[in-house]
Structure 1
Amino acid sequence: MAAAGISLSFSAIGQTSNGGKVNVSSARYLASNFEGFRFRISLLCHSVRVGVPSTASPSIIHCMSTANDVPTVSETKSNFLKAYKRPIPSVYNTVLQELIVQQHLMRYKRTHRYDAVFALGFVTVYDQLMEGYPSDEDRDAIFQAYINALKEDPQQYRDDAQKLEEWARAQTSSSLVEFPSRDGEIEAMLKDTAERAGGKGNFSYSRFFAVGLFRLLELANATEPTVLEKLCAALNINKRSVDRDLDVYRNMLSKLVQAKELLKEYVDREKKKREERSESQRANEAIKKCLGEY
């Protein structure tokens, strides 16, 4: 679990040197250099593996998408833009647009069913991406608009992510993987996931799910590699897929840090240019004043 020590701090980047917000056109210029990072985001979201049951209960059918109610990708993106109309700095917007396209494809798979671990994974990625955004209020509003555009409940995402995080903090390496033999709200959620992943219901594996698993391990301080193996076995998840997807996640975080550092360098450089121009202007004014007095 080498990624456990990774942390992101964007607070120095989300603002200009004088406390103002990042200029949108400047951020757009920088975003053109982030194609490698966008590729990593695409990899993070694109892999979706499906377990298809032979039969489905009425409650599961209710959660499945049908051909009649599936919006297009452009409709989902349009719903997002209608719900949040303020400009988003391109260093963030470029990634958000990539994410919402890929998550749309996950959301409207025939076998899709909402999953709390998936929600935890998405919330983790979103919060790390948007950490240090110029406005906390706008960051929350963007989250609301994003999830609503997918016709899901943003409050459910937040609530389930919080419940899983609180539960994981109270676990040990041993108790984390012993959920099948215990009772409780979170244990019931995980048992349901395990049953569906084992072929008794609809389940679509994605890399957001892998990130959710990683977050559980991280909060429980379960750093031993064997814990992930046992947790995957208990949930009927392929550990090789999780290992591969966590590698992509770690690489994504690295690219994200580089992108933020690039933006910070640009902001600092522009600040220095403004200061130099200001000093030159003051010097010229002083010279003119002296010549006028002479």
Structure 2
Amino acid sequence: MAALTSLSFSAVTHCPERKKLTFSSTPFLATSSDFFGLRTHFSYHHVGVRASNSTSNMVVQCMSSVTDAPTVSETKLNFLKAYKRPIPSIYNTVLQELIVQQHLMRYKRSYRYDPVFALGFVTVYDKLMEGYPSDEDRDAIFQAYIKALKENPQEYRIDARKLEEWARVQNPISLLEFSSKEGEGEGILKEIAERAAGKGEFSYNRFFAVGLFRLLELANATEPTILDKLCAALNINKRSVDRDLDVYRNLLSKLVQAKELLKEYVDREKKKRDERTEPQKANEAITTCLGEQLPGL
């Protein structure tokens, strides 16, 4: 496996006056083609999304045109218009980074949507948003996010679900034999392999790597050599996949730690508030009791 790119949380501070829990991190998932960074600043308070100044039945969509591509600011504004409720900053910060970087992927000349990419993004999004206070809001944010990129959120979900269902009935051998078989899932992988071999435009990205990982996971293909063989069959650079999967796993670990620390902080603050209100409630109860017993006073 490639060397692990670290995502260090270099500072964890607690500011009593502002009641913030802060985490700082270095960028992650950088490649030579484009940069996918995460500069997190997790705070326990709710913030809104700010705009920066700065058809398919598992069928591949057309390539995007860079001539009419919107700006990053426009994409973020589209997200803001589609989802107007405040988002807790531990989620909002990462979402804002993701949408900027996915905008850059989306409007590259070589970009073409494919279901493996969709599966990867859905996997990342669902892992990121685990524990979100409201399932309804989590889905609404997903809808707003994809629509801001001028794509179809239902298409992402449907294609991801179909690929998951296909992968669940595969095994390591059948997964690698996609080129000699017929079927919807096999057809998707064949088309990707042809494009990656130079018979069409193909732009590798880290969501695609996560999608491959998810396919292997669902097919119970745990042997490390299976990923090597699958990448070779798809004409994908294995080193790039290794690097991005290492960082993806590390990111998930850090997010779990951040959420645990945040939960501890919230529980601690709640306990402090309860302790402060107990004497006040006792005084109010005594006052009420005396008032009932001595109504003339």
Same fold (TM over 0.5): yes
Distance 2:272 2:124 in 1: 35
Distance 2:61 2:175 in 1: 30
Q: Is the 8 A contact 1:118 1:208 kept in 2?
A: yes
Scaled by the length of structure 2, the TM-score of the pair is 0.79
Q: Is the 8 A contact 2:120 2:210 kept in 1?
A: yes
Aligned structure 1 segments of 4 or more residues deviating by more than 6 angstroms: 287-294
Q: Is the 8 A contact 1:48 1:204 kept in 2?
A: no
1:20 match: none
Q: Is the 8 A contact 2:60 2:113 kept in 1?
A: no
Higher relative contact order (CA 8 A, sep 6+): 1
Secondary structure in 2 matching 1:113: coil
Deviation at 1:182, TM superposition (A): 0.4
Deviation at 1:214, TM superposition (A): 0.6
1:103 match: 102
C-alpha deviations, 1:184-221, integer Å up to 9, x for none?
01111110001111111111111111100110111111
Quick one: percent identity of the two aligned structures?
76
1:128 match: 127
Distance 2:28 2:252 in 1: 13
1:214 match: 213
Deviation at 1:62, TM superposition (A): 4.3
Q: Which has the higher mean CA deviation after the structures are superposed, 180-189 or 271-280?
A: 271-280
Shift in alpha-carbon separation, 1:238–1:220, aligned structure 2, 3 A:
same
Q: Establish whether residue 43 from structure 1 lines up as the match of residue 32 from structure 2.
A: no
Q: Establish whether residue 114 from structure 1 lines up as the match of residue 99 from structure 2.
A: no
Deviation at 1:282, TM superposition (A): 3.1
Secondary structure in 2 matching 1:205: coil
2:246 match: 247
Distance 1:169 1:61 in 2: 25
Q: Is the 8 A contact 2:61 2:114 kept in 1?
A: no
Q: Is the 8 A contact 2:61 2:112 kept in 1?
A: no
Distance 2:149 2:256 in 1: 27
Secondary structure in 2 matching 1:204: coil
Deviation at 1:286, TM superposition (A): 5.8
Aligned residues: 253
C-alpha deviations, 1:161-202, integer Å up to 9, x for none?
001100111011111111011000111111000111111111
Q: Is the 8 A contact 1:120 1:161 kept in 2?
A: yes
C-alpha deviations, 1:231-282, integer Å up to 9, x for none?
1011101111111111100110011101111210111011101220122223
C-alpha deviations, 1:13-34, integer Å up to 9, x for none?
xxxxxxxxxxxx96xx33xx23
Alignment of 1:1-294 (within 5 A): 29-30=20-21, 33-36=22-25, 39=26, 42-44=27-29, 46-47=30-31, 49=33, 62-67=62-67, 69-285=68-284
Deviation at 1:48, TM superposition (A): 7.0
Secondary structure in 2 matching 1:34: strand
2:13 match: none
Q: Is the 8 A contact 1:196 1:203 kept in 2?
A: yes
Shift in alpha-carbon separation, 1:147–1:182, aligned structure 2, 3 A:
same
Please tell me the residue identity of whatever aligns with 2:24.
E
Distance 2:127 2:186 in 1: 26
Please tell me the residue identity of whatever aligns with 2:86.
P
Q: Which has the higher mean CA deviation after the structures are superposed, 201-210 or 278-287?
A: 278-287
The runs of 5 or more residues in structure 1 that have no matched partner are 2-24, 51-58
Q: Is the 8 A contact 1:47 1:207 kept in 2?
A: no
Please tell me the residue identity of whatever aligns with 1:34.
F
The runs of 5 or more residues in structure 2 that have no matched partner are 2-17, 35-58
Q: Is the 8 A contact 2:178 2:190 kept in 1?
A: yes
Q: Is the 8 A contact 1:49 1:206 kept in 2?
A: no
Higher normalized helix content (fraction of residues): 1
